[in-house]
Every structure is written in structure tokens, then in C-alpha cells.
Amino acid sequence: MSWPAALNHWPSFIDLVDILVVSILIYEVMKLIRGTRAVQMVFGGGLFVVLFYGSRWAHLETVNWLVRNLAGYIVFAVIVLFQSDIRRALAHFGRAPFFRYFAKAESAAETIEELVVAASMLSNQRIGAIIAIERQIGLRNYIEGGIPLDAVLTYDLLLSIFLPSSPLHDGAVIVQEDRVAAAACFLPLTVNPRLSKELGSRHRAAIGLTEENDAVAIVVSEETGRISIVAEGQIERGLDADELRARLRSLMLQRRAKGARAREPQLT
């Protein structure tokens, strides 16, 4: 087809749908492998592709023969070595993104209620806790450093995790959508010198995490039982159940509206 003819050939609706589906699949795959060992496998696969076409171009028959014969075995090796990652990826595609949108608001409301009940009960018993809630930016690197759970989020589960007798109480719980992704996760501490001396390691870890990404963190003080919420490196302390519910709804159900509510400055 000549260039003038090609320019006059506009893509059909089916072509646009085809491109859109492929683009979404590539984007989801890139999100899945980001920050995991699969990234090294992608680079390794790219090296084999370069070797294959480079050996053909340079007429390196032995190298080309070796790459062609190894290709089949590499596919089976990847399936065996990454079977758990493949299962997780298939489960992820089953949950997101198309099917999640229909029930996202209802699911988020239920998640918020479970978080509020858990924080209130932990506060009444003065049990220290830190719960990080993932939003747009993934927290996979922190999840992989903790104990993976991938369990349905309930207040009973959160209470059992943070009980002092639990082996998982030391560290943070990370929530993804309506599931507890991992427990006993260690978060980066903030280095902000202007913070109050009253803030302990839990509060500083929550601030440090939210300074790096758009996560939201709920902190329950072990000493006072006060509930705090942290977003974008800013902390609000001394919230009751209704205030916590309202803040979580504004942060999780609404798209980050700037200036919707001014956050109070760092308390001293």
C-alpha cells in the first residue's frame, strides 16, 4: 500500500478497540511486575530477543541455533518458577480494573466501616496500631517486606493482628482495596525535624510513608489511645469515630479534591 493510500485509510472502530485492549493489558502487566523479580525476567527475555535477531543479522549460526532451541525450555522454566506470581496475576485481572468499578463505592464504604470499628475498639483498649491504606500508588515493596496475608478485611482480623500477644502486632498492616495484603510491615520513618516530640515511632512511620506516596494511614496511640489519620505527610490527631469515618470517606471515596478541607498543621 502506497503512502497516500495508507494516509487515507482511517482506523475502524474495531481497530481502536483492539489497540485499547492491548494497551490496557500491557499497562496492567507492567503494574504487576513493577518492583518484583519478574522485572529481571523481562530484561532476560529482552536479551534473548536481541541475541536471536543479532545472531541472524551477523550470521552467527551456532548462537542462533542455541537460542532457538533454548526458547522452548525457557517458557516451561518461567511457568514453573513463577507459578505463584502467575496465579496472583490471573486473580488480579479477575478483580481489576473493569469488574471492580461496578462495586467499588459499596466495597469502599464497607471497608471504611470495618476500619472505623477496628480503630475505635483498639483505641478503647489502648492497643497501638498502624494501618496503611493503599490508593493510586502501589505499596508492593512494603508488602513484600512483611508477612503476606491477602485476607478479607474485617475488624476482628485487625484486632487479632494488633493484640500484644500476636506475633504480627509489631509493624503496620497494609490494606489494598477490601483486603488485608500484609501485616508486620515496616515503614520508613520521617526525617522532618519540626515534628512534635510527642510523636512516637508509629506516627513517624505513618508520616514517612505518606510523604513518599498517596497512601492514607490510621494510627492508634498505645499510650493515650488517641486515633490519628495521616495523609500527604500531614497528621490529624484526636479523632473520634465519626470524624475518622468522614475523613476516610473524603480521602477514599472522593477524588483528591484540593482544598476540600484544610489539614491542621503539625501539632506540638
Q: Tens digit of pLDDT for each residue in 16-33?
A: 888 888 888 777 777 666
Q: What is the CATH number of the domain that holds 124?
A: 3.40.1700.10
Domain match, 203 and 120 both: yes
SS3 152: strand
Domain match, 126 and 67 both: no
Domain boundary among 95, 115, 133: 95
Domain boundary among 95, 124, 150: 95
Domain match, 66 and 188 both: no
In a domain, 42, yes or no: yes
* 227 or 9: which leads in pLDDT: 227
In a domain, 107, yes or no: yes
pTM score of the predicted model: 0.59
pLDDT bracket for residue 255 (50, 70, 90) = very low
* 239 or 252: which leads in pLDDT: 239
Q: Could you say which DSSP state residue 213 is in? A: S
The pLDDT value recorded for residue 35 is: 58
Domain match, 22 and 113 both: no
Instruction: Tell me the per-residue pLDDT of 218-250, one tens digit each, with 9 for 90 and over.
Output: 999 998 899 999 998 899 999 999 999 999 988
Domain match, 143 and 167 both: yes
Domain match, 17 and 142 both: no
In a domain, 268, yes or no: no
* 146 or 196: which leads in pLDDT: 146
Domain match, 162 and 248 both: yes
The pLDDT value recorded for residue 18 is: 85
Contact 95, 136 (CB under 8 A): no
Contact 175, 158 (CB under 8 A): no
pLDDT(99) > 50: no
Mean pLDDT (the chain, rounded): 79
The pLDDT value recorded for residue 98 is: 46
In a domain, 258, yes or no: no
% pLDDT > 90, the chain: 33
- b or e along 217-248 (b: 16 or more beta carbons within 10 Å of the residue's beta carbon)? bbbbbeeeeebbbbbebebbbebeeeebbebb
Q: What's the mean pLDDT in 100-105?
A: 50
* 90 or 172: which leads in pLDDT: 172
pLDDT(155) > 50: yes
Total structural domains within the chain: 2
In a domain, 245, yes or no: yes
Domain match, 69 and 19 both: yes
pLDDT(58) > 50: yes
Domain match, 59 and 124 both: no
The pLDDT value recorded for residue 256 is: 40
The pLDDT value recorded for residue 245 is: 92
Domain match, 80 and 130 both: no
The pLDDT value recorded for residue 194 is: 82
Residue-number span of the structural domain to which 157 is assigned: 103-252
Domain boundary among 71, 95, 119: 95
